[in-house]
Structure 1
Amino acid sequence: MSGGSDSQRTSPSAASLSENELPPGYVCSLSEELVAKAREELQEKPEWRLRDVQALRDMVRKEHPTLSTSLDDAFLLRFLRARKFDYDRALQLLVSYHSCRRSWPEVFSNLRPSALKDVLASGFLTVLPHTDPRGCHIVLIRPDRWIPSNYPITENIRAIYLTLEKLIQSEETQVNGIVILADYKGVSLSKASHFGPFIAKKVIGILQDGFPIRIKAVHVVNEPRIFKGIFAIIKPFLKEKIANRFFLHGSDLNSLHTNLPRSVLPGEYGGTAGELDTAAWNALLLASEDDFVREFCQPVPACDSVEGPALLPEGLAADAQCDDAVRAGKSQLYACY
């Protein structure tokens, strides 16, 4: 996570508001440069920020009074930024976010770092210490580190969402977004078969429509022939904008370096940032145990409800409709293998 002086400094725009307008607990941590970027790319106007948050809060209270959700300024801002301050779309994203959590208990129940020590220790996932030139954190995923006999694939998915939840706490990440670097070296047919259409549709549905994060690019390296089958499973569920942000580099690290400079990459990927170290990110997550316990390990109030499957992202409400996709996906996998 970024830890420079900007994170401790109130932006000039936020500082210009009167003390009465700044609610307790929220102080903008964006640098002046990021305030300008948020204005240009996200339509975020610092002078209207708190008004916009209050508008979203009022909509939640009026349209979803039984939804158990934080209404803090900092929390609601995540959803406004993810939807470029469109109130209606931000509200839909917020409701979908909670719907997703309730619809997939295998992933979201008891979601805390100490419950995922095996996944973290495997090196399946980490966040690189340096951001890309746009300020995006780089999430590295290495499926070859996963041994299916040790734990189910849903544990890997839990680790991904755990990481995203930690990243999105940063206002810098809310504005800049993230980049995913996926290394498919050594992924076999048997391992790929665990990531079928059911799982793919759920994961992509949440990432696209149920989580307040901006995915700016997905870089895939060392993909074997089998990846064509994996991508054939994934692609039907991707929106065109996201599909266009996938870049397949194979073993050509020079191709990767045109997008991610060597200065931010570890030596394993032709970079100059030293050896890959997963310990620092694991330690950061484990140090956040109490935060995750408060957020994900408390009983859901009996009155808490989300109004029906229509509010779920596509792919989470009707798994039975995936039968044809399952058959087609298996055919693609075997053909590519």
Structure 2
Amino acid sequence: MDTNEEQRLLLLKESIQNEAIYFEHFKPLLTDKFLLHFIRGRKQRVDVAFETLKKYVHIRGDKYADLFQDLLPSAVKIKHDAVRMLRYPGPNGQAILVTRVSWWPSVYLPQYDDLGWDEIIPKLIHAVDGVLGWKDAETMGFELIIDLDGFNLKYLRRLLGIQPLIKLINIFFKAVPLRFGKVHMLNVPICFNIWLAMAKQVDFAGILRRFFMHDGKMGSLHSHLPQNILPTLFNGHLSLEDALDDEFAQHVLNNEDFYYTLQQCIKQKM
């Protein structure tokens, strides 16, 4: 942290103090390290960082408190390593998260017959929160690759609904101090167009403009992300083992204490 960041951190703390009642139950979270995520993720703009912080507290402490008070990584239903990180950043230094249908539990297994957004969103939160403080990701932002190979109508039926989409937008696009870049969609089945049509109804901030659909040959994907950072399953040059950062999953699990602190803050507020 340089002198300029120290000054901005003091200004952010001053803004928090001016609205102390709003943050009174979340003081244990408001460490220097935590607040710097907001300053860096919002390009050193203290006013924007403060507004994002207020939304962060509102989303977690009020609007979706039931979700966030039970979010310990050790306690979520899905234990699969479903959202992973590429080992090497993109051409602009951005982190690259990757998820595939085959990495999630199968809806054909009896124990996951009710798999839906209530089970998926916690895993997404863990991954996105894990990007905070991960190397240069909080300043350079991140992108997401979604491989829909294997996605079918049975999955689609569990993901339809306007309210879950609104929840996704509120949590990930309005109240996280990260620069969310492009979303690369691979192997998109025809049935997914139903989900996209529904998503257009709640596209508050033109979010779908960040979505890029790539064909099976992946040529258009490579115009955004070079082959030398991608695994062979995306027509890249690396094995899956070499392409993925094996430390990221443990980094996410190491956030257990953070979610416990958040849980206690929410309980005090309620």
Corresponding residue of 1:245: 210
The alignment partner of 2:158 has SS state of coil
CA drift of 1:264 comes to: 1.0
TM-superposition CA deviations, 1:261-289 (whole Å, max 9, x none): 11111121111221256865333333x05
Corresponding residue of 2:266: 300
Counterpart contact for 1:120–1:282, Cα < 8 Å: no
Structure 2 residue runs of 5 or longer lacking an equivalent are none
Corresponding residue of 2:249: 282
Distance 1:57 1:263, change over 3 A: same
Counterpart contact for 1:201–1:234, Cα < 8 Å: no
Counterpart contact for 1:112–1:296, Cα < 8 Å: no
Corresponding residue of 2:15: 59
Corresponding residue of 1:166: 130
Distance in 2 separating the partners of 1:242 and 1:66: 29
The alignment partner of 2:21 has SS state of coil
* Matched residue type, 1:229: I
Tell me, yes or no, if structure 1 residue 185 matches structure 2 residue 141: no
Distance in 1 separating the partners of 2:255 and 2:220: 38
Distance in 2 separating the partners of 1:241 and 1:200: 14
Identity of aligned pairs, percent? 24
Counterpart contact for 1:136–1:178, Cα < 8 Å: yes
TM-superposition CA deviations, 1:70-95 (whole Å, max 9, x none): 33332222222333333333222111
Structure 1 vs Structure 2 CA RMSD: 2.5
Corresponding residue of 2:70: 110
Corresponding residue of 1:101: 60
Corresponding residue of 2:45: 86
Corresponding residue of 1:259: 224
Counterpart contact for 1:107–1:157, Cα < 8 Å: no
Distance in 2 separating the partners of 1:137 and 1:278: 11
Which protein shows a greater Rg?
Answer: 1
Counterpart contact for 1:107–1:155, Cα < 8 Å: no
* Matched residue type, 1:50: E
Distance 1:278 1:86, change over 3 A: closer
Distance in 2 separating the partners of 1:63 and 1:265: 46
Distance in 1 separating the partners of 2:251 and 2:6: 30
Corresponding residue of 1:210: 175
Corresponding residue of 1:133: 91
Distance 1:83 1:258, change over 3 A: same
TM-superposition CA deviations, 1:133-178 (whole Å, max 9, x none): 2221111122343434514432221011111112112361111000
Q: TM-score, structure 2 length as denominator?
A: 0.84
TM-superposition CA deviations, 1:11-37 (whole Å, max 9, x none): xxxxxxxxxxxxxxxxx3xxxxxxxxx
Structure 1 residue runs of 5 or longer lacking an equivalent are 1-27, 29-45, 306-337
The alignment partner of 2:44 has SS state of coil
Counterpart contact for 2:53–2:175, Cα < 8 Å: yes
The alignment partner of 1:297 has SS state of helix
Deviates more, 1:229-238 or 1:265-274: 229-238
Distance in 1 separating the partners of 2:54 and 2:43: 17
CA drift of 1:220 comes to: 0.5
Distance in 1 separating the partners of 2:252 and 2:58: 24
Corresponding residue of 2:197: 232
CA drift of 1:296 comes to: 3.1
1:142 to 100, 104, 109: 100
The alignment partner of 2:78 has SS state of helix
Distance in 2 separating the partners of 1:98 and 1:131: 29
Distance in 1 separating the partners of 2:180 and 2:145: 11
Distance in 2 separating the partners of 1:155 and 1:278: 24
